[in-house]
Amino acid sequence: MRAPISTTNALTLNQLLTHQNIPNPADFYFDQSYLYLDSSLETLTPTLFSDNDLQPENNDSVNNGWELVLLSSTTISQLVDICQFAGIKLVKLNRINHRLGVSSYRFALQATDINAARKLANQYALEQSLELALIEQAPSLATPGLLVMDMDSTTIEIECIDEIAKLAGVGEEVAEVTERAMQGELDFAASLKQRVATLSGSSESILSEVASQLPLMPGLRPLLDLLKSHQWRIAVASGGFTYFTDYLQKELELDATQANVLEIVDGKLTGHVLGDITDAQVKADTLGRLATEFSIPTAQTVAMGDGANDLQMLAAAELGVAYKAKPVVLQQADCAINFSGLDCLAHWLK
């Protein structure tokens, strides 16, 4: 057995674990003095728990398939706090992933009430500006999958309709309606028609002006490059407009897009949307249709979004991810990314 390593609770998981040749998987639990990480119960670091607090148990409280995923910047002190706050026991270090320059750690866990544990863990993460995920049976990066993303405020940093409205001179009026729709306070289809109507008579050139400078969300390109290298399919399903999803499809080499069509006559917006509205149900249907078209099993599907119009799509996917989302979405999504770029998703996947 190696000699104990002198550490403190201020160390990060990366500082403690990355260079310790930890086997995968490894038994993992705390007692009053130490953190144990392998079958020989090798001493690695002092912790704060009493002797029986987090011993592994073989009983009905074991949640098969559930994992707590933490990034390398998480400190040992935060790990202790998460376990105490959320009422969970870590019983095995399932895997260490090194992706896109960051390490992450996947722990098997026990909890008597997994739903309460996930809610409390997410609450702690928000309060501490920390990224974590408590996930059941996450899709695997190593197997081909499907990612369907919302566009506005997810794939790109702006709400396109708000930017169009600014150029059309109705910015404040439209932005207020957009915010209420994203919070789930308004019917999406009705609110979209209301907002588009205010654009009647505006020049098509304002669409081109917005499209020419779409700000991609941080981490988007590295994430897509990684997924594509593992034969994942990528799509955007948006309550926005094809004028912009078409641009993104070409720019990012997306496999598919779904969005609304603005009516343009003689170079002017008419204030109408052509055809059916891409609402929450259409987004969810798009995910299912693309999974079938690309022969991707549901277990390998991921959806990401930030507004109420994304909820059905997130529920339809195996993993629904709230990205810097509204409270109504955070409460219902499987997991969240609140402070990092989109490339954080690489670590929520197995």
What are the 10-residue block averages of pLDDT along the chain, 350 residues in total? 44 69 63 51 39 42 80 87 91 89 92 94 95 96 98 97 93 88 87 92 96 96 98 98 97 98 97 96 98 98 97 98 96 96 98
**List of residues 6+ apart from 337 with CB closer than 8 A:** 131, 321, 322, 323, 324, 344, 345, 348
Question: Count of alpha carbons within 13 Å of 264, Cβ hemisphere only?
Answer: 15
> Residue 40's CB: how many other CB atoms inside 10 A?
10
As beta bridge partners, residue 289 has: none
Which strand (E) or helix (H) includes residue 122? helix 114-127
Query: Burial code of 244-253, b = ≥16 C-beta within 10 A, e = fewer?
Result: bbebbbeebe
Q: Give the three-state DSSP class for 263.
A: strand
Beta strands in the chain (DSSP E): 26-27, 29-30, 35-36, 62-71, 89-99, 102-110, 132-136, 146-149, 233-241, 256-265, 268-274, 301-305, 319-323, 335-337
The pLDDT value recorded for residue 91 is 83
Q: How much is the pTM?
A: 0.88
**List of residues 6+ apart from 111 with CB closer than 8 A:** 61, 63, 66, 86, 87, 88, 89, 117
As beta bridge partners, residue 336 has: 322
Which strand (E) or helix (H) includes residue 228? helix 220-229
Both structure tokens of 133 = 């995920």
**List of residues 6+ apart from 272 with CB closer than 8 A:** 193, 196, 197, 262, 263
Both structure tokens of 105 = 């750690």
Whether the domain at 2-48+62-135 and the domain at 146-159+217-348 fall into the same CATH topology: no
Both structure tokens of 246 = 């078409």
In contact, 235 and 257? CB cutoff 8 Å = yes
Q: Domain-by-domain residue ranges, the chain?
A: 2-48+62-135, 146-159+217-348
Q: Does domain 2-48+62-135 have CATH number 3.40.50?
A: no
Instruction: Write the CATH number of the domain with boundaries 146-159+217-348.
Output: 3.40.50.1000
Task: List the catalytic residues.
Answer: 150, 152
The pLDDT value recorded for residue 3 is 34
